[in-house]
Amino acid sequence: MKVFINKRIPETGIAMLEKAGLEILFPENENLSYEEWLNYCKNTDTILNIGADFKYDKNFFEACPNVKAIALYSVGFDHVDIKEASERNIPIGNTPDVLSRATSDTAFLLMQSVARRASYNFQKVRDGKWSTFDPLHALGQELYGKTLGIFGLGRIGYEMAEKSKNAFGMNIIYHNRRHNEEAEKELGAAYVSFEELIENSDVLSVHANFTPEHKDLFNSSVFEKMKPNAIFVNTARGGFHNQKDLYQALVDQKIWGAGLDVTHPEPMQVDDPILELSTVCILPHIGSATIEARNGMARLAAGNIIAFSKGEKMPHCANPEVYSPIL
């Protein structure tokens, strides 16, 4: 069975696939155009997909009828039309849990970075603008005892809440599709409505799965209702926030700062004025970029392909109802 892998992943995953006797197809050049990518996909049975440059939508599935399974090298699957895949009996594997620590660490890092204007101050040093001690310049804010609001309290949100509670004694409130009993019991997290979340959070951190209904959920009317000292953190997907509205809310001091690991579009424009603000820290979607998390993702993604090749269910699957054994 052939597996197309569009970019190199940690060796541990490749070794697993080789040991399982699978034929691996790498592109000659990793920066593929859509057409080039599609041509590779047309000639494979399975795909181990890295990144979200191209969509797995109806057009894709119609163009590539030989593809029987896709293992994503990501926990998120918003670039896949799951309904279209399921209708064709194509399992879509993903990589949950192994990146929860790294991604929540990134949210925690952004929260502190923004609170202390770390990016801005670092840039000053780089620009040779480190001047004499100034008691009033570019002051940050402390996080002790403040309220952290989590939008989407799954594993990553839980870990962000736990770290913030342990480090700064933050009170945790959250809004989710359902109650998270573990968080309520262990962290004293309080379930609140969306309105209460946005009105009461000193830091609001987004950790939900992105679906089209979430597009621009955090927009000017939401920022308007947030606290003027609030820090908005997004490590989930850029589509959750409207970046122009976010910029305006920061300029108008409706909210205090923003820490983003995700933007819309990605990569973001270098001339985006939001980059000029002193209470912003923006990272290039590196939430899971640790050796440990990326090795874990490689193991899970390879494990999903191998399970499929043996006619077994993928252990980590976005559409677990689909079972399409190779017979």
Residues identified as active-site:
237, 266, 285
Q: Does 149 bind ligand DGY (CB under 6 A)?
A: no
Helices 118-126 and 100-115 pack at an angle, to 10 degrees, of 70
Q: Which residue do the tokens 């993928």 mark?
A: 314
Q: Does 76 bind ligand DGY (CB under 6 A)?
A: yes
Judged by CB, which is closer to ligand DGY: 75, or 298?
A: 75
Residue 280: CB minimum distance to ligand DGY, A: 20
Among 41, 69, 70, 75, binds ligand DGY (CB under 6 A): 75
Residue 240: CB minimum distance to ligand DGY, A: 12
Q: Does 6 bind ligand DGY (CB under 6 A)?
A: no
Residue 18: CB minimum distance to ligand DGY, A: 24
Residues 89-108 that bind ligand DGY (CB under 6 A): 99
Among 49, 104, 147, 288, binds ligand DGY (CB under 6 A): 288
Per CB under 6 A, the segment of 73-81, 143-151, 179-187, 243-251 that binds ligand DGY is: 73-81
Residues 108-147 that bind ligand DGY (CB under 6 A): none
User: What distances in angstroms separate CA 309 from CA 7, 67, 218, one per listed residue?
Assistant: 21, 12, 42
Q: Among all residues, whose Cβ is closest to ligand DGY?
A: 76
Residue 67: CB minimum distance to ligand DGY, A: 20
Instruction: Report whether 166 contacts 148 (CB < 8 A).
Output: no
Q: Does 46 bind ligand DGY (CB under 6 A)?
A: no
Judged by CB, which is closer to ligand DGY: 75, or 189?
A: 75
Among 44, 46, 74, 171, binds ligand DGY (CB under 6 A): 74
Encoding tokens for residue 129? 């603008």
Per CB under 6 A, the segment of 72-80, 225-233, 306-314, 318-326 that binds ligand DGY is: 72-80
Judged by CB, which is closer to ligand DGY: 75, or 198?
A: 75
The strand pairing partners of 92, in sequence order, are 70
Binding site for ligand DGY (CB under 6 A): 74-76, 99, 287-288
